[in-house]
Amino acid sequence: MPGNIIEVKDLRKTYPGNVEAVRGVSFHVKEGQFYGFLGPNGAGKTTTMNMLVNLVKRTSGEIIIDGQHLDQHARDIYAKIGFAMQEIGLDETATAREMLQLHGRLYHLPKERIEEQITKLLKLVELEKVADRYTSTYSGGMRRRFDLALSLIHEPKVLFLDEPTQGLDPHARQLIWNHLRDLNEKGMTIFLTTHFMDEAEALCDHIAIMDKGQIVTQGSVEELVTKHQAKNLEDVFLKTTGSNLGDEEVNLKAADPYARSRM
Protein backbone atom coordinates (compact mmCIF):
# COMPACT_ATOMS: atom_id res chain seq x y z
CA MET A 1 0.00 0.00 0.00
CA PRO A 2 1.35 3.47 -0.89
CA GLY A 3 2.11 5.79 2.01
CA ASN A 4 0.90 9.33 2.53
CA ILE A 5 2.76 11.93 0.50
CA ILE A 6 0.70 14.85 1.90
CA GLU A 7 -0.46 15.11 5.51
CA VAL A 8 -2.43 18.10 6.75
CA LYS A 9 -3.40 18.46 10.39
CA ASP A 10 -5.80 21.08 11.80
CA LEU A 11 -4.94 23.68 9.14
CA ARG A 12 -6.36 27.14 9.81
CA LYS A 13 -6.29 30.55 8.14
CA THR A 14 -7.86 33.62 9.71
CA TYR A 15 -7.75 36.99 7.95
CA PRO A 16 -8.03 40.41 9.57
CA GLY A 17 -11.52 41.05 10.90
CA ASN A 18 -11.60 37.50 12.28
CA VAL A 19 -12.63 36.07 8.90
CA GLU A 20 -12.01 32.32 9.07
CA ALA A 21 -11.19 31.17 5.55
CA VAL A 22 -9.99 27.71 6.63
CA ARG A 23 -11.25 26.25 9.89
CA GLY A 24 -9.36 23.20 11.13
CA VAL A 25 -8.90 21.15 7.96
CA SER A 26 -7.22 17.73 8.25
CA PHE A 27 -6.65 15.20 5.47
CA HIS A 28 -4.00 13.05 3.81
CA VAL A 29 -3.15 12.21 0.20
CA LYS A 30 -1.59 8.90 -0.73
CA GLU A 31 1.37 8.72 -3.08
CA GLY A 32 0.20 8.37 -6.67
CA GLN A 33 -3.35 9.50 -5.85
CA PHE A 34 -5.41 11.90 -7.95
CA TYR A 35 -7.01 13.95 -5.18
CA GLY A 36 -9.87 16.33 -5.90
CA PHE A 37 -10.87 19.30 -3.75
CA LEU A 38 -14.40 20.52 -4.46
CA GLY A 39 -16.46 23.32 -3.00
CA PRO A 40 -18.52 26.40 -3.80
CA ASN A 41 -16.83 29.75 -4.35
CA GLY A 42 -15.47 31.11 -1.09
CA ALA A 43 -15.29 27.65 0.51
CA GLY A 44 -11.55 27.93 1.17
CA LYS A 45 -10.21 25.58 -1.52
CA THR A 46 -7.70 27.95 -3.07
CA THR A 47 -6.61 29.30 0.30
CA THR A 48 -5.92 25.74 1.44
CA MET A 49 -3.88 24.97 -1.67
CA ASN A 50 -1.92 28.20 -1.38
CA MET A 51 -0.98 27.28 2.17
CA LEU A 52 0.16 23.84 1.01
CA VAL A 53 2.60 25.39 -1.47
CA ASN A 54 3.59 28.13 1.00
CA LEU A 55 2.19 31.04 -1.01
CA VAL A 56 -0.03 32.01 1.92
CA LYS A 57 1.14 31.87 5.52
CA ARG A 58 -1.13 29.69 7.62
CA THR A 59 -2.46 30.82 10.98
CA SER A 60 -1.88 27.41 12.53
CA GLY A 61 -1.72 23.72 11.72
CA GLU A 62 0.79 21.26 10.32
CA ILE A 63 1.75 20.46 6.72
CA ILE A 64 3.98 17.50 5.86
CA ILE A 65 4.93 16.74 2.25
CA ASP A 66 6.89 13.63 1.36
CA GLY A 67 7.78 13.11 5.01
CA GLN A 68 9.12 16.63 5.54
CA HIS A 69 7.56 19.44 7.57
CA LEU A 70 6.96 22.55 5.49
CA ASP A 71 8.22 24.83 8.27
CA GLN A 72 11.59 23.09 8.45
CA HIS A 73 12.20 21.93 4.87
CA ALA A 74 10.52 24.46 2.58
CA ARG A 75 13.41 24.55 0.08
CA ASP A 76 13.57 20.76 -0.19
CA ILE A 77 9.81 20.59 -0.65
CA TYR A 78 9.83 23.22 -3.40
CA ALA A 79 12.10 20.95 -5.42
CA LYS A 80 9.53 18.15 -5.18
CA ILE A 81 6.37 20.03 -6.09
CA GLY A 82 4.96 21.86 -9.08
CA PHE A 83 1.99 24.18 -9.08
CA ALA A 84 -0.16 25.90 -11.66
CA MET A 85 -2.48 28.44 -10.11
CA GLN A 86 -5.63 29.95 -11.55
CA GLU A 87 -4.22 33.38 -12.32
CA ILE A 88 -1.45 32.73 -14.81
CA GLY A 89 1.48 35.12 -14.62
CA LEU A 90 3.53 34.77 -17.79
CA ASP A 91 6.30 37.09 -18.93
CA GLU A 92 4.73 38.35 -22.13
CA THR A 93 8.05 39.74 -23.36
CA ALA A 94 9.54 36.23 -23.45
CA THR A 95 8.93 33.21 -25.64
CA ALA A 96 7.72 29.90 -24.28
CA ARG A 97 11.14 28.36 -24.88
CA GLU A 98 12.89 31.18 -23.02
CA MET A 99 10.58 30.84 -20.03
CA LEU A 100 11.08 27.08 -19.85
CA GLN A 101 14.86 27.58 -19.98
CA LEU A 102 14.65 30.12 -17.15
CA HIS A 103 12.53 27.84 -14.97
CA GLY A 104 14.90 24.97 -15.58
CA ARG A 105 17.83 27.09 -14.41
CA LEU A 106 15.88 28.19 -11.33
CA TYR A 107 15.62 24.53 -10.39
CA HIS A 108 19.35 24.09 -11.04
CA LEU A 109 18.84 21.53 -13.80
CA PRO A 110 21.83 20.77 -16.07
CA LYS A 111 21.66 22.51 -19.45
CA GLU A 112 21.29 19.22 -21.33
CA ARG A 113 18.46 18.13 -19.04
CA ILE A 114 16.66 21.44 -19.54
CA GLU A 115 16.72 21.03 -23.31
CA GLU A 116 15.47 17.43 -23.01
CA GLN A 117 12.62 18.56 -20.80
CA ILE A 118 11.70 21.45 -23.10
CA THR A 119 11.45 19.14 -26.09
CA LYS A 120 9.35 16.63 -24.15
CA LEU A 121 7.03 19.17 -22.54
CA LEU A 122 6.35 21.20 -25.66
CA LYS A 123 5.31 18.00 -27.37
CA LEU A 124 3.21 16.97 -24.37
CA VAL A 125 1.16 20.17 -24.44
CA GLU A 126 1.24 20.43 -28.24
CA LEU A 127 3.03 23.77 -28.42
CA GLU A 128 6.13 22.81 -30.41
CA LYS A 129 5.15 24.95 -33.40
CA VAL A 130 4.70 28.11 -31.31
CA ALA A 131 7.56 27.64 -28.84
CA ASP A 132 9.45 30.64 -30.20
CA ARG A 133 6.48 33.00 -30.20
CA TYR A 134 5.97 35.51 -27.40
CA THR A 135 3.50 34.21 -24.84
CA SER A 136 1.51 37.44 -25.26
CA THR A 137 0.27 35.99 -28.57
CA TYR A 138 -1.12 32.83 -26.96
CA SER A 139 -4.82 32.12 -26.61
CA GLY A 140 -6.30 31.32 -23.21
CA GLY A 141 -6.12 27.57 -23.86
CA MET A 142 -2.51 27.78 -25.04
CA ARG A 143 -1.56 29.77 -21.92
CA ARG A 144 -3.15 27.16 -19.66
CA ARG A 145 -1.29 24.36 -21.40
CA PHE A 146 1.97 26.27 -21.23
CA ASP A 147 1.47 26.99 -17.52
CA LEU A 148 1.14 23.23 -17.04
CA ALA A 149 4.40 22.69 -18.93
CA LEU A 150 6.19 25.23 -16.70
CA SER A 151 5.02 23.42 -13.58
CA LEU A 152 6.47 20.15 -14.90
CA ILE A 153 9.95 21.31 -15.96
CA HIS A 154 11.64 19.72 -12.91
CA GLU A 155 9.50 16.54 -12.92
CA PRO A 156 7.81 17.10 -9.54
CA LYS A 157 6.59 14.29 -7.35
CA VAL A 158 3.44 16.26 -6.50
CA LEU A 159 1.52 18.57 -8.82
CA PHE A 160 -0.90 21.17 -7.43
CA LEU A 161 -3.50 22.55 -9.85
CA ASP A 162 -6.05 25.27 -9.11
CA GLU A 163 -8.98 24.92 -11.52
CA PRO A 164 -6.74 24.25 -14.55
CA THR A 165 -9.55 24.10 -17.12
CA GLN A 166 -11.55 27.15 -16.02
CA GLY A 167 -12.70 29.10 -19.08
CA LEU A 168 -11.36 26.63 -21.67
CA ASP A 169 -13.23 25.34 -24.69
CA PRO A 170 -14.15 21.62 -24.71
CA HIS A 171 -11.23 20.62 -26.94
CA ALA A 172 -8.59 22.35 -24.80
CA ARG A 173 -10.23 21.00 -21.66
CA GLN A 174 -10.11 17.42 -22.94
CA LEU A 175 -6.48 17.88 -23.97
CA ILE A 176 -5.47 18.90 -20.44
CA TRP A 177 -7.51 16.02 -18.97
CA ASN A 178 -5.58 13.58 -21.15
CA HIS A 179 -2.22 15.07 -20.08
CA LEU A 180 -3.16 14.84 -16.41
CA ARG A 181 -4.37 11.24 -16.67
CA ASP A 182 -1.11 10.27 -18.34
CA LEU A 183 1.00 11.99 -15.66
CA ASN A 184 -0.99 10.33 -12.89
CA GLU A 185 -0.77 6.89 -14.50
CA LYS A 186 3.01 7.31 -14.56
CA GLY A 187 3.02 7.81 -10.79
CA MET A 188 2.67 11.55 -10.21
CA THR A 189 0.49 12.60 -7.28
CA ILE A 190 -1.97 15.29 -8.37
CA PHE A 191 -3.93 17.62 -6.09
CA LEU A 192 -6.71 19.40 -7.98
CA THR A 193 -9.20 22.07 -6.98
CA THR A 194 -12.26 22.37 -9.17
CA HIS A 195 -15.96 23.16 -9.06
CA PHE A 196 -16.69 21.09 -12.18
CA MET A 197 -18.38 17.83 -11.14
CA ASP A 198 -17.64 16.11 -14.45
CA GLU A 199 -13.96 16.99 -14.12
CA ALA A 200 -13.76 15.51 -10.62
CA GLU A 201 -15.59 12.36 -11.70
CA ALA A 202 -13.43 11.92 -14.79
CA LEU A 203 -10.06 12.42 -13.09
CA CYS A 204 -10.09 11.95 -9.32
CA ASP A 205 -9.95 8.70 -7.38
CA HIS A 206 -10.55 10.49 -4.07
CA ILE A 207 -12.62 13.62 -3.50
CA ALA A 208 -12.99 15.99 -0.55
CA ILE A 209 -15.83 18.50 -0.51
CA MET A 210 -15.18 21.72 1.35
CA ASP A 211 -17.70 24.29 2.55
CA LYS A 212 -17.35 27.34 4.79
CA GLY A 213 -13.71 26.56 5.49
CA GLN A 214 -14.16 22.92 6.50
CA ILE A 215 -14.16 19.51 4.83
CA VAL A 216 -17.75 18.26 5.02
CA THR A 217 -17.25 14.84 3.40
CA GLN A 218 -14.67 12.83 1.46
CA GLY A 219 -14.13 9.50 -0.30
CA SER A 220 -14.32 8.03 -3.78
CA VAL A 221 -17.25 9.01 -6.00
CA GLU A 222 -18.87 5.64 -5.34
CA GLU A 223 -18.37 5.95 -1.59
CA LEU A 224 -19.80 9.47 -1.50
CA VAL A 225 -22.87 8.55 -3.55
CA THR A 226 -23.57 5.58 -1.29
CA LYS A 227 -22.86 7.43 1.96
CA HIS A 228 -25.17 10.32 1.14
CA GLN A 229 -27.81 8.25 -0.69
CA ALA A 230 -27.32 10.47 -3.70
CA LYS A 231 -27.93 10.03 -7.42
CA ASN A 232 -24.52 11.32 -8.47
CA LEU A 233 -21.63 13.55 -7.33
CA GLU A 234 -23.58 16.72 -8.10
CA ASP A 235 -26.33 15.51 -5.79
CA VAL A 236 -23.73 14.81 -3.08
CA PHE A 237 -22.40 18.34 -3.54
CA LEU A 238 -25.87 19.84 -3.16
CA LYS A 239 -26.67 17.76 -0.07
CA THR A 240 -23.41 18.54 1.72
CA THR A 241 -23.03 22.23 0.86
CA GLY A 242 -26.56 23.37 0.13
CA SER A 243 -25.18 24.99 -3.03
CA ASN A 244 -26.08 24.55 -6.66
CA LEU A 245 -23.30 24.52 -9.24
CA GLY A 246 -24.30 27.96 -10.47
CA ASP A 247 -24.22 29.59 -7.05
CA GLU A 248 -21.55 32.22 -6.39
CA GLU A 249 -20.39 32.35 -2.80
CA VAL A 250 -17.79 35.09 -2.62
CA ASN A 251 -18.25 36.16 0.98
CA LEU A 252 -14.51 35.79 1.62
CA LYS A 253 -13.38 37.76 -1.41
CA ALA A 254 -12.89 41.06 0.37
CA ALA A 255 -10.82 39.53 3.15
CA ASP A 256 -9.03 36.82 1.19
CA PRO A 257 -6.96 38.03 -1.80
CA TYR A 258 -6.97 34.50 -3.21
CA ALA A 259 -10.73 34.03 -3.08
CA ARG A 260 -11.41 34.93 -6.71
CA SER A 261 -14.54 34.72 -8.77
CA ARG A 262 -14.39 31.46 -10.73
CA MET A 263 -17.62 31.34 -12.63
Question: Could you write out the DSSP letters of every residue in 60-112?
Answer: EEEEEETTEETTT-HHHHHTTEEEE-SS----TTSBHHHHHHHHHHHTT--HH
Q: Which residue has the higher pLDDT, 241 or 249?
A: 241
C-alpha–C-alpha distance, residues 79 and 136, integer Å:
28
Q: Yes or no: say if 23 and 231 are a contact pair by the CB < 8 Å rule.
A: no
Write down the CATH number for the domain with range 4-241.
Answer: 3.40.50.300
User: For position 86, what pLDDT does the model report?
Assistant: 59
Angstrom CA distances, 185 to 173, 188, 206, stand at 18, 7, 15
Predicted local confidence at residue 141, as pLDDT:
82
pLDDT of residue 64: 98
pLDDT at residue 172 above 90? no
Instruction: Examine the pLDDT at 88 and tell me if it is beyond 60.
Output: no
Q: Where are the domains of the chain?
A: 4-241
pLDDT surpassing 70 at residue 170: yes
94-139: pLDDT as tens digits: 899 999 999 999 999 999 999 999 999 999 888 999 999 998 898 8
CA Rg value for the chain: 18
pLDDT digits (tens, 9 = 90+) for 190-243: 999 988 889 999 999 999 999 999 999 999 999 999 999 999 999 999 999 986
| Cβ partners under 8 Å of residue 133, min gap 6 | 95, 96
pLDDT number for residue 235: 94
247 pLDDT higher than 60: no
Q: What are phi and psi of 82, to 5 degrees?
A: -130, 150
35-70 pLDDT per residue, tens: 999 998 889 998 999 999 999 999 999 999 999 999
Identify the DSSP state of 135. G
Beta carbons of 29 and 5 less than 8 angstroms apart: yes
Mean pLDDT to the nearest integer, 64-91:
86
Q: Which residues contact 10 (CB under 8 A, 6 or more apart)?
A: 24, 25, 26, 60, 61, 62
What pLDDT shows up at residue 29? 97
pTM for this model (two decimals)? 0.86
Measure the CA–CA gap between 163 and 245, rounded to whole angstroms. 15
